[in-house]
Amino acid sequence: MSDHLVELAKSHLTNIPVSLISQGAESLIFTTTTHPYMETSDEGQQYIVKFRPPKKYRHPQLDAQLTKRRTLAEARLLQRLYGADGISVPSIIAVDARNGILWLEYIGQQIENGVSSLKNYLWLEDSKADYESLLRAVGDMIARLHQMGIVHGDLTTSNVMLQKHGSQWAPCLIDFGLGFTSDLVEDKAVDLYVLERAILSTHPVHSDNYNSWLMEGYKKGYGKDQGKFKQVMKRYEDVRMRGRKRSMLG
Amino acid sequence: MSIKTVLPQFPQFTVHLFKFKNVTNSKEIKQNLIKGDKRYDFSFINAQTVLSEEQLLSAVYRALLDHTQDKIRTKTIHSEVIFSLSPTQNIMDALRRFGIQDDSTDLIVIKIVDSNSQEEFDLSVVEGEEVDITDEDLKSSAILKTIKKNYKLKSEDLTVLSHQIVAAIQLRGL
Ligand SMILES: Nc1ncnc2c1ncn2[C@@H]1O[C@H](COP(=O)(O)OP(=O)(O)O)[C@@H](O)[C@H]1O
Ligand SMILES: [Mg+2]
């Protein structure tokens, strides 16, 4: 079905053996154990290759421009965020913007039910004493993101990956493909609301707890800037109301 | 001692990296470079501006990618590697910051050759002591203050700093 897109990606990746791990509307995600320029010492080390294929229905020249622009937009957000205090995102390894290719650090590892995304981890439910601290950490990180004037744009529980730091899991935000810079409370409130809905839809029983931990972390992440936090909260309640009305009508 | 590598996506090129200390003829090298003397067709890099192997090879990657896509901005692949180390679009500024200076004593020398022809090259143009080129050796001659200033970065964590440099190299001017 997507074979020709995989072939196209491979044609831009001479001598790089890649395996497709995900295909979305915008991009194909591959893993590889071959680094584009370093001789890897670490066996089993993986890298992510994110490929935005051309879209046939667009004019070729316009399409090439858009592909390049979107690849760069995502890369620039990652560049701004990488290394920022209290924020974790994958590092950039290489960029071939003209071919819509972004090489990223691989985040996470295998757990019982797949990759260590927040989504999979929360599915494990039983005996996870660290859910509270983890969800607080996620909230804290999103607050810092918002304080930098960046909105993720697609905060689902699959776009929050978990990384082992010693014996503890720590969040790492991935997929800034829909991210943008904004200082509007509305955009930040919607970002939070999207995550709340994602948690609610997968974990209806515990979602109240989960979401309150998330919010407590989000509040804490604002540090001394509680005024800003309150503005976002206020709008967040509005966004929730609108959401509820919409679902009652729908 | 030196590094010889082929980047998988660019098998047509073989990349050699060398490091020297106690170099005594940098001024002469620079003069001959300016004259365009063929025997000096290398990237001569001021080692004080280099923190890691990752930084160097990421610039080589960028230069080879731009070269194969017909997008290089300087005269040769060797000057392009130096330009690729830079976070900005100003070529003169890049050569001044990252290239050899009259008083450079620590040098990194890069030679990119056609993998098929395996042309010979003569490094005796550099008068100095060849040393290893591991991350440790690079760090020992790196001047962090200069590096942070060049890239407008301030991380204290050298791994983070190196990754931030890579991002700056990959995204320059795009
Ligand atoms: N840096 C990364 N490290 C580990 N896995 C990743 C990384 N980037 C993407 N993935 C995996 O690929 C999936 C899709 O990637 P993503 O960037 O979210 O693209 P999409 O826009 O298609 O959602 C993610 O949900 C995750 O499982
Ligand atoms: Mg995603």
Asked whether the beta carbons of A36 and A94 are under 8 A apart, the reply is yes
How many angstroms is it from A22 CA to the middle of ligand 2? 9
Beta carbon of A22 within 6 Å of any ligand 1 atom? yes
What residues does A92 pair with on adjacent strands? A104
- Write down the pLDDT at residue A55: 86
* Nearest ligand 1 atom, CA A115: 27
Q: How far is A35 from chain B (nearest CA, A)?
A: 8
How many angstroms is it from B109 CA to the middle of ligand 1? 38
Inter-chain residue contact A79 with B57, CB threshold 8 Å: no
ipTM of the assembly?
Answer: 0.97
Domain architecture of chain B: domains with CATH: 3-171 (3.30.2380.10)
Two tokens at B70? Answer: 């017909």
Two tokens at B58? Answer: 């990421």
pLDDT for B1-47, tens place per residue? Answer: 899 999 999 999 999 999 999 999 999 999 999 999 999 999 999 99
Asked whether the beta carbons of A120 and A110 are under 8 A apart, the reply is no
Angle, helix A207-221 to helix A185-202, in steps of 10 degrees: 150
How many other C-beta atoms can be found within 10 angstroms of the C-beta atom of residue B129? 11
pLDDT for A173-211, tens place per residue? Answer: 999 999 999 999 999 999 999 999 999 888 878 888 899
**pTM reported for the whole predicted model:** 0.96
- Write down the pLDDT at residue B78: 97
Residue A23: half-sphere exposure toward Cβ, Cα within 13 Å? 10
Q: How far apart are CA A114 and CA B47, in angstroms?
A: 44
Beta carbon of A26 within 6 Å of any ligand 1 atom? yes
Positions of chain A with pLDDT under 70: 1, 41, 126-127, 248-250
Which residues of A are tagged catalytic?
154
- Write down the pLDDT at residue A120: 93
Beta carbon of A217 within 6 Å of any ligand 1 atom? no
Residue whose C-alpha is closest to residue A143's, from A91, A90, A216, A92: A216
Residue bearing tokens 């691989």: A106
- Write down the pLDDT at residue A250: 54
Inter-chain residue contact A14 with B8, CB threshold 8 Å: yes
Q: Mutating which of A15, A37, A71, A74 best tests the B interface, going by the most B Cβ atoms within 10 A?
A: A37
Domain architecture of chain A: domains with CATH: 3-105 (3.30.200.20), 110-249 (1.10.510.10)
Question: What secondary structure does DSSP assign to B94-131, as a single string?
Answer: HHHHHB--TT--SEEEEEEEETTT-----GGGS-SEEE
- Write down the pLDDT at residue A58: 84
pLDDT averaged over every residue in chain B: 96
- Write down the pLDDT at residue A249: 65
Q: Which contacts of A175-179 are long-range, i.e. CB under 8 A and separated by 24 or more positions?
A: A176/A74, A176/A77, A176/A78, A176/A81, A176/A89, A176/A152, A177/A26, A177/A27, A177/A70, A177/A74, A177/A153, A178/A152, A178/A153, A178/A154, A179/A73, A179/A74, A179/A77, A179/A150, A179/A151, A179/A152, A179/A153, A179/A154
- Write down the pLDDT at residue B118: 73
